[in-house]
Amino acid sequence: MLALTEAVHSKVNDLEPSPIDPSWIIEGNPEARSRLLSTSTCKTAWTLIWFCTRGKFNWHYNFDETVVILEGSIVVENDGALPKRYGAGDVILFRAGTRAKWQVEDDVKKVAFCRLTNPFPLGFAIRVANKLKSLITRTPLSSRLT
């Protein structure tokens, strides 16, 4: 895992091949590359850099993914909505279960923030546990002993 003070700079040459499922490709020969940048301690969240050449393909999201486009442009269609163009600086949220059609117009580079989702009861229990933990760690030890 990266230390807080470490800078991340990733060139396309630093990325590993990350092939798109051939059955998802609609047109062209898009080639994807990526690099994992960080993972949460609990392994339910991670950040990566992803690059892809021109082409059109389907994408299926099994987890929540927030994307920031760093370079290039894409057109995305999902859930029957009209196609929408995104470019550098745009932020997109894809919820788990989303099926989208990507058209990479100009080679695209994105940073992706990915997170596994929990069922509501488990998520609620985690929030309660975290709140209790924060209350305990904020209370001075001397006041906990009396």
Q: What is the pLDDT of residues 26-66, one digit of tens each?
A: 999 999 999 999 999 888 899 999 999 999 999 999 999 99
pLDDT(145) > 90: no
Pick the residue with more confidence: 64 or 146? Answer: 64
Element of type H or E holding 109: strand 99-115
Instruction: Round to whole Å and give the CA distance between 66 and 3.
Output: 22
Give the chain's mean pLDDT.
86
Query: Domain limits of the chain?
Result: 12-115, 119-146
CATH 2.60.120.10 fits 12-115, yes or no: yes
Element (H, E) at 131: helix 120-138
Cβ(64)–Cβ(114) below 8 Å: yes
Cβ contact 78:99 at 8 Å: yes
| Torsional class of 80: left (φ above 0), alpha (ψ -120 to 50), beta (otherwise) | left
Q: Is 94 exposed, middle or buried (0-12, 13-18, 19+ CB in 10 A)?
A: buried
Long-range contacts of 21-25 (CB under 8 A, 24+ apart): 24/57, 24/58, 24/59, 24/60, 25/55, 25/56, 25/57
Q: Encode pLDDT of 47-56 as tens digits.
A: 999 999 999 9
